[in-house]
Amino acid sequence: MTPKKHQENKPTFESHRHTEKRQIRRVHPLGLRVLVRIQKDLNVTDSGLYLPEGAKEAMQESIVAEVIEVASAVDSDTSEETNVSGIPNGSTVLIPKNAGVRVPWDDELRIVETREILALVNEISLT
């Protein structure tokens, strides 16, 4: 699956199966939920040793993910879309390893309730 930008800069997802018609899916989380993409870590330790596939994830209790879609509602007076989840779209978050529900067509996507989000993560580069 590859993310594809929609006209409103909202992520959509295409299916690349050759035997099926081409499909685009757009996910709108409901309630206090967000759609996140799990960020994969390199399988290398801090000292530079390469680990077998999945070994690093097995030791982790939490994982880092990027919020790619948030639950929203439309204000009836102004017709503006408002983020009701409280988590900023595009932010990096820390979630428990088994949090949320996996999206069937993409293993990297999960729908996570906002109460499962442990923290917002800000990366600061040191020079």
Write out pLDDT tens, residues 64-117. 999 999 988 887 888 888 888 889 999 999 999 999 999 998 889 999 999 999
Write out pLDDT tens, residues 52-65. 666 555 667 888 99
CB neighbourhood size of 75 (10 A): 9
Strand (E) or helix (H) holding 95: strand 92-96
Q: How confident is the model at residue 16 (pLDDT cuts 50, 70, 90)?
A: low
Q: Which residues contact 122 (CB under 8 A, 6 or more apart)?
A: 92
Q: Which residues pair with 5 in a beta bridge?
A: 11
Give the residue with greater pLDDT, 28 vs 120: 120
Give me the CATH topology for the region 28-121.
10 Kd Chaperonin, Protein Cpn10; Chain O (2.30.33)
**Residue type at position 85:** S
